Amino acid sequence: RIQILFEDYLVIMSMNEGYLVVGIVISIIVGVSFSFFKVYNKSPFVKDIFFLSAGLTIFFFCFGYSAFHVIGSAIVFYLLMWCIGISGVSCCTVLLGCLSYLLYGYITTSGVSYTITWTLIHCQVLLKICGYFFELYDAKVRYPQSFLTYMAYCCFPCSCLVGPSHSFKDYEAVIYSTKPPNALPFARRRFTLALVYIGVFYGVGQVWSTKTLLSHEFLGLSFPLKVVFWTMWSKWLITKYCGVWMVAETAASFTGLGADASGAFESLRNMDIYKFETSVTIQDELSSFNIKVHQWVKTNIYKRCRFLGNPVLSRIIALLFLYLWHGFYFGFFNLFLIEALGIETERILFKHINADILYRYIPRYVCYPAFYLLKNACVGYGLCGFALRTFERCHIFYKSVYYCFHWIMPVIILLDVMVGKLGARRRSSGEMEKED
């Protein structure tokens, strides 16, 4: 048993997951130290030094010299700001430049198996750099900012690894505030939930892994049992992200990041746990998961495409950005495709199904579990591809379940379009008969 645990430890360290865990622990220590040693009473300059030093420590500890990829990017785009100023063109240049360098990182570091590399922190820094330029363009923050403050914001230790994403305005509120953050109640609740989710992930992880979906045992199951299994497996997979994000929220709350006037930290939440666990629609689940990134994309990508005059095209561009931001793997694209098809299918079904009439014949205590299980099966179907990543591995899984959701949802959408056109034709013919 000791030998097995030691081999698991070597695998984790080889994927840099061990260093990532230590980095998250350091971020918690930084957050607690900020409150315990009353750094909040210090000047903005001291706070910038404190956060920048801690952030660089995490960067170099977790990724070594590869951290220069991220630090160099931040410096280059700061110099670009001074050279070409703030305009719509410069904001687009920064967005495309950051995204292109991230994609370069994915190309040079990606493989069949997932390995944590410097692209992890570049994902977070990309949102910060581009968000900072957009805030300057919208005149939401003062211009110009000192290089020290800008770098401390990019390297903010409590959000540099896994989020939560935050604006420069939120960081300014931290360095210019002298009030002690009342974070203990919020931090206690989130950290307790985080331990539960992480405990479930590592506990069940002794039995399940990504390879389970490709095992002979799974492939030999009947289709109904496969549906049940992939639904349960995907719920287990997502506990890792829930736990890690809530640990990061805990660390950030000790610095006062995201605190509102009443001292609450609602704007810091990256997960709405209750809504996430009880929602019966894909739309509700997505709106409660990875909230900060979705808000960033909605504000800085989707809404800024309004000049196109086509909300569908704006939505496609936003989804394309999310896909590229996550990486080139087929499984990532597949997940966003399934989510988009699922949301549209839900809209169609709820348009044609009268809830009042449905509940009149079928009790709510029957409808709710049915909707809940169907939603989890659909989301889990996409998450399995997200975990398998490559097309070859995804194909083995989806072929074994007949690519069911890949064709069921497009058929429903196509039928809705055909019914809509048929109804419009009948209405137009009826109006012509009345005129005659």
The pLDDT tens digits for 137-156 are: 988 777 767 899 999 999 99
List the structure tokens of 322: 């999310």
Q: Work out the angle at residue 197's Cα, subtended by the Cα atoms of residues 193 and 198, and round it to the nearest 5 degrees.
A: 115
Say how far apart CA 338 and CA 406 lie, in whole Å: 7
Q: What percent of the chain has pLDDT over 70?
A: 89
Q: For residue 27, which amino acid is it? A: S
How remote is the C-alpha of 389 from its chain's centroid? 16
Tokens in use for 226? 């496969």
> Within its chain, how far is the Cα of 317 from the centroid?
17
In this prediction, residues 128-135 reach a mean pLDDT of: 93
The arithmetic mean of pLDDT across residues 161-168, rounded, is: 88
The C-alpha atoms of residue 397 and residue 76 are separated, in whole angstroms, by 43
pLDDT tops 80 at residue 42: yes
Question: Which residue(s) pair with 289 in the sheet?
Answer: 271
Structure tokens at 270: 């990256």
Flag whether pLDDT at 383 surpasses 90. yes
What average pLDDT does range 238-242 have in this prediction?
91
Region 278-289 average pLDDT: 91
**1: CB partners within 8 A, 6+ apart:** none
Does residue 25 contact residue 126 with C-beta atoms inside 8 Å?
A: no
Torsional class of 165: left (φ above 0), alpha (ψ -120 to 50), beta (otherwise):
beta
pLDDT at 132: 93
42: DSSP letter: S
Q: What are the counts of helices (DSSP H) followed by strands (DSSP E) for the chain?
A: 20, 0
What is the reported pLDDT for 429?
66
Phi, psi of 65 (to 5 degrees): -65, -15
19: closest CA among 53, 68, 59?
59
Question: Hey, is 289 helix, strand or coil?
Answer: strand
Task: Give me the pLDDT at residue 184, please.
Answer: 87
Q: Is residue 4 pLDDT above 60, yes or no?
A: no
Nearest one of 53, 64, 65 to 26, comparing CA atoms: 53
Q: What is the DSSP letter of 213?
A: G
Choose among 355, 164, 216, 371: nearest CA to 280. Answer: 371
Mean pLDDT in residue range 353-364: 70
Q: How far is CA 313 from CA 137, 286, 302, in A?
A: 24, 20, 9
Token representation of residue 356: 């009042």
Residue 114 — pLDDT band, cuts 50, 70, 90? low
For 309, the token pair is 């005059």
Q: Is the dihedral of CA 156, 21, 296, 170 positive or negative?
A: negative
Q: What would the pLDDT profile of 391-427 be if each residue is shown by its tens digit?
A: 999 999 999 999 999 999 999 999 988 887 777 677 6
* For residue 261, pLDDT beyond 80: no
CA end-to-end span of the chain, whole Å?
A: 87
- Give dist(CA 249, CA 159) in Å, integer: 8
Q: What is the widest separation between alpha-carbon atoms in the chain?
A: 88
C-alpha torsion sign, points 129, 132, 138, 144:
negative
Query: Is residue 9 pLDDT above 70, yes or no?
Result: no
50: closest CA among 22, 29, 77? 29
- For the four alpha carbons of 379, 384, 385 and 386, in that order, the dihedral sign comes to positive
Question: In this predicted structure, what is the pLDDT of residue 284?
Answer: 92
Which tokens in the block code for residue 73?
Answer: 């990017």
Asked if the model's pLDDT at residue 24 lies above 90, the reply is no
Q: Which SS3 state, helix, strand or coil, does residue 192 take?
A: helix
